Structure 1
Amino acid sequence: MQRKFYVISRTTVTKDIIGIFNEEKKKLKGHMKELSGRVCITTDMWTLIQNLGYMVLTAHFVDKDWKLQKKIINFRVLPHPHKGEAIAKAVENCLLEWGIEKVMTITLDNAKNNDSCITELKKRLNKRNGLLLGGEFFHIRYFAHVINLVVRDGVNEVKRTIKRLRQSVKYVRSGPSRIQPFKKCASDENLTTKRALCLDVKIRWNLTYLMIDTAMEFEKAFDRLEEHDPNYKIECDVKGEGLLGDSDWRKLKALQTFLEEFYKLTKRVSSSKYVTSNTYFDELTQAKDLLIDNLTNDDVDFCEMAMKMDAKFDKYCNFDL
């Protein structure tokens, strides 16, 4: 380090950061007061391992230059319990703090406490005439979260096959002594892919899709590993549901194609860089059509999966064809 460089104290750094934050907040509040249109709000909540609940509130609006803006206006601890009334009060206090009077919509996930939050928040904002049409279209469901709930339910119908794949991937990825022989198996099968196996997280279906998507390129390598590594079969039998068979690979191939559409759909409707409301209905009907097409699938497991997903989809989207 340059000897002439003076290291400032933690107290000074903290003071400077807070000063910059307050100055930027003042500027943003000024810009938002000049808005001629309304502001759309999104919010999310989660609990850290310290059992502290946090809430983030994000404002989405079109500025005077007709550019879509996204600004986090609140990030704070929200004490338990996270009841709807408490969430509504926290959101209202934040809007008052920022001087936001004209709200268009609010988007939340599908937690039960958010229903009572919406009821309470509409009541509070309507007292100040802050909503259009009395808030009839105030609550917008988070479509990507709906997809997440729908697909998670469906994937659970083929959980044994997925568990076999998960254990196989886990076995290969457990250390260099297993990765290198697997690479040799892939090389012997003339597999030239540059992708690497990835392990999913059980509650994240999109990661399960990526695990399936990459594993499909190594099907022949897994078959060869079974022939050359006796420990592979032993460990999969003990810790999992056994080895992957031909029927499992057929299911995984079909599941890969099926989930790919929902994966792409989720990415399209999850952007904050461009408006997605104009494509929402088209995406909604595409998801519905995909489910209907699989209701008559020849594979019984897939048919049951599609039926369960379709019922969940209708529950959240009130779809009536």
Structure 2
Amino acid sequence: MIFFLGYKPPTRRTAQRQLKRLCNNHTRWLVAELKRIDTLAVTTDLWSDKKMNSYMCLTGHYINSDSKLQSKVLSFTAFPERHTGGQISYTIKKELKRLQFYDKTHTITCDGAANIKKSFESLKPKRVHCLGHKLHLIVCNAL
């Protein structure tokens, strides 16, 4: 290992500990921030990268005490499971309950894929079809 001007980079273990601590601090801050709101709208999407690794992101949207729209990433996770309605439903519910937002969530905006529709059979929040996804499908099918 080459050291530049006496600098010794942190070890992988040190970086891992610091990232876990930062993540825990951010989660505590997010839970405290959103305890002050009454309702939360969520958007979600699943996608895969070029190596076919899948990910799920949940983003929360709410009006703060200054009447301004705020959006926060609630959860960004790897999604190695099959994309079945049951697995999607389980993951959404697990993440929202972990952050204590499940009961405050009334709508979740997402695409219209069959597995997504199926996942809402066991979720309390209502599904709202994303107009952006719908418009994209209309344009692609028209061409």
Q: Compute the displacement of 1:116 (Å).
A: 1.0
Give 1:34's aligned residue: 36
Query: The residue matched to 1:40 in structure 2 has which SS?
Result: strand
Of 119, 125, 132, the residue aligned with 1:144 is 132
Instruction: Report the residue type matching 1:30 in the other structure.
Output: A
Give 1:98's aligned residue: 99
Unmatched segments (≥5 aa) in structure 1: 126-130, 132-137, 156-321
Instruction: Give deviations 1:122-149, integer Å, cap 9, x for gaps.
Output: xxx3xxxxx5xxxxxx221110111100
Query: The residue matched to 2:17 in structure 1 has which SS?
Result: helix
Instruction: Give deviations 1:13-39, integer Å, cap 9, x for gaps.
Output: 22212211211211111111121x200
Pick the structure with greater CA Rg.
1
Of 154, 169, 172, the residue aligned with 2:142 is 154
Unmatched segments (≥5 aa) in structure 2: none
Instruction: Give deviations 1:211-253, integer Å, cap 9, x for gaps.
Output: xxxxxxxxxxxxxxxxxxxxxxxxxxxxxxxxxxxxxxxxxxx
Give 1:43's aligned residue: 44
- TM-score, normalised by the number of residues in structure 2: 0.87
Greater relative CO, 1 or 2 (CA 8 Å, sep 6+): 2
Give 1:84's aligned residue: 85
Give 1:117's aligned residue: 119
Instruction: Report the residue type matching 2:130 in the other structure.
Output: Y
List structure 1 runs of 4+ shifted beyond 4 angstroms: none
Query: The residue matched to 2:122 in structure 1 has which SS?
Result: helix
Q: How does 1:162-177 map to 2 (within 5 A)?
A: none
Contact 1:84 / 1:113 at 8 angstroms: preserved in 2?
Answer: yes
Distance, in Å, in 2 between the alignment partners of 1:149 and 1:40 is: 24
Instruction: Give deviations 1:152-171, integer Å, cap 9, x for gaps.
Output: 1112xxxxxxxxxxxxxxxx
Change (3 A) 1:15 1:51: same
How many corresponding residue pairs? 140
Q: Compute the displacement of 1:2 (Å).
A: 6.1
Give 2:68's aligned residue: 67
Query: The residue matched to 1:79 in structure 2 has which SS?
Result: coil
Q: Could you say which structure has the higher strand fraction?
A: 2
Instruction: Report the residue type matching 2:94 in the other structure.
Output: N
Q: How does 1:195-210 map to 2 (within 5 A)?
A: none
Q: Could you say which structure has the higher helix fraction?
A: 1
Tell whether 2:19 aligns with 1:17: yes
Instruction: Report the residue type matching 2:24 in the other structure.
Output: N
Query: The residue matched to 1:74 in structure 2 has which SS?
Result: strand
CA RMSD of aligned residues (A): 1.8
Instruction: Report the residue type matching 2:60 in the other structure.
Output: A
- TM-score, normalised by the number of residues in structure 1: 0.41
Distance, in Å, in 1 between the alignment partners of 2:12 and 2:19 is: 11
Distance, in Å, in 2 between the alignment partners of 1:22 and 1:46 is: 25
Aligned-pair identity in percent equals 26
